[in-house]
Structure 1
Amino acid sequence: MVNEYWDQRFKAEGMIWGKEPSPTAYHAIDKFKKHGVQSVLIPGGGYGRNSKAFSPHFQVEAVELSPDAIAMAREWDPDCHYIEGSALDIKIDKTYDGIYCYDLLHLFLMSDRHRLIQCCDEHLRKGGVMYFTSFSDGDPNNGIGRRLESGTYEYKEGKYAHFFSEEDLREHFSGYRIVETGTVEEVLRNQSNDSHSYLLRYILVQNK
């Protein structure tokens, strides 16, 4: 199970990807400010690596499935309200001006990718904006391992991901006004200062 995999990793490795927020977090903050965003939801907030960049600027709530990640997040980013639960079934009776969903979409097969987007949409106010990041089809891991669906591969044993083309990403958000798309190379450093880079796509959309 995906949730068991991540909970075990958080328990064993702590702040897996270090403390520095993704460059996409700062990009999203800039875009959110330009769209008048005041409240933000972060599905799959992890241990607070990215939420900590948002919380000085907005009212931020995050949903995370792993209790170990939430414990770290509440200590690392006390200004963000963390809620234990699944991003595919968000139990919050409110809407937000902006949603930032970092590297979560590519972890699911097609039906659950659309379910995630729909769940986020249900918590987005009218005229609100969403910023999603995901693996790019230009990443070297694309095409490696067992093919599960078109564009989706088990690139490591027990770990699969969907690799998005520009067209594919736009199709997933065809019901929205697409504000901006792009690519970014992200470099992650773990607690031992070992680095790993991979290629992401991002998309900023506004509901109609």
Structure 2
Amino acid sequence: MVDLHFLNVQQPHWEQAFAKNNEMFGESPSEAAIRAADIFKVHGQERILELGAGQGRDTLFFARNGFQVHVLDYTKEGTERIRQKAKEEGLSDRIAVIEHDVRKPFLLPSGSFDACYSHMLYCMALTTDELVALNNHVRQVLRPGGYNIYTVRHKGDAHYGQGVHRGEDLYEVGGFIVHFFDRAKVEALTDGYEFIDVHEFEEGGLPRKLYQVSLEKRRVE
């Protein structure tokens, strides 16, 4: 059983973390963003929805590389930081930022994006039911043939099974709750999509072990 109280108090925890460190994840783009950008370019996908952008290291990378980026993030600290960076770099015309909790439906037109990108958003404090709903929200705003590329920490990660168990495959380590994935969970989140691939990679000093999942919205549903 999932303890929803602890999942619901993650937002202020992230606010505090971002307030204490303006560059919590550094300024360089993630390996995941670099790989996603190459995929988007191959498929001519220019209008990108980014979910859970944090402080914008990947957002700025996409904008610098010619993409139009629309960001949804539920932290005030994160969204304000991204707007500030975009203004400083003269990229405000390429970056739109909205403070929004992705557990709620997106207030965006259907079929309005070429692709969606998120780095470790799917493995945040979200229940399986919330992940299913999130994947449906993404599919709704993608055009047919649009890509949904997301990353998650998987069960081969050193933190899996550590800390405090919060239900399902959710574990709290250092105050942050992570939902760890296996291949079965990846495959379960493909309704309305064509499964493209799973790329395994590592990030950070632990290192964190991740999947990068690529899905394509079905052209005919």
TM over 0.5: yes
Residue of structure 1 in register with 2:99 after alignment = 84
Among 155, 161, 165, the residue aligned to 2:182: 165
Q: CA deviation at 1:134?
A: 0.6
**Distance between the aligned counterparts of 1:8 and 1:196, measured in 2?**
23
Determine the structure 2 residue equivalent to 1:147. 165
Q: Distance in 1 between matches of 2:17 and 2:185?
A: 30
Does the 8 A contact of 2:194 with 2:217 survive in 1?
yes
**In the alignment, which residue of structure 2 is the partner of 1:65?**
74
Q: Which residue of 2 aligns with 1:22?
A: 30
Which residue type is aligned with residue 31 of structure 1?
Answer: I
Larger strand proportion of the pair: 1
- SS of residue paired to 2:78: helix
How far does residue 166 in structure 1 lie from its aligned partner after superposition? 2.0
Match of 1:45 in 2: 53
CA distance in 1, matches of 2:123, 2:164: 16
Q: For residue 68 of structure 1, what is the amino acid of its counterpart? A: E
CA distance in 2, matches of 1:77, 1:134: 26
Number of residue pairs matched by the alignment: 200
Within the alignment, does 1:31 sit opposite 2:39 as a pair? yes
Aligned to 1:190: none
Partner of 2:5: none
SS in 2 for 1:164: coil
Does the CA-based 8 Å contact 1:129-1:207 persist in structure 2? yes
Task: Determine the structure 1 residue equivalent to 2:215.
Answer: 205
- Gap runs ≥5 in structure 2: 1-8
Whether contact under 8 Å (1:88, 1:119) holds in the other structure is: no
Which consecutive residues of structure 1, in runs of 5 or more, have no partner in the other structure?
A: 188-194
Which secondary structure does the structure 2 equivalent of 1:205 belong to? strand
Deviation of residue 73 (structure 1)? 0.7
Give 1:127 deviation, angstroms: 1.2
Deviation at residue 152 of structure 1 after TM alignment: 2.2
CA distance in 2, matches of 1:61, 1:160: 26
In 2, Cα distance between the equivalents of 1:46 and 1:74? 12
Aligned amino acid, residue 109 of structure 2 = D
Asked if 2 retains the 8 angstrom alpha-carbon contact of 1:51 and 1:77, the reply is no
1:174 Cα deviation after fit: 4.3
Identity fraction in percent: 25
Quote how far apart the aligned CAs of 1:196 are: 4.7
CA contact (8 A) 1:146 1:155 kept: yes
User: Structure 1: how far apart are the matches of 2:74 and 2:17?
Assistant: 13
1:127 is aligned, of 132, 145, 165, to 145
Aligned equivalents of 1:180, 1:34: Cα separation in 2: 15
Q: What RMSD in Å do the two structures reach over aligned CA positions?
A: 1.6
Tell me the distance in 1 between the aligned counterparts of 2:17 and 2:166: 23
Equivalent position SS for 1:149: coil
Give the aligned residue type for 2:21: E
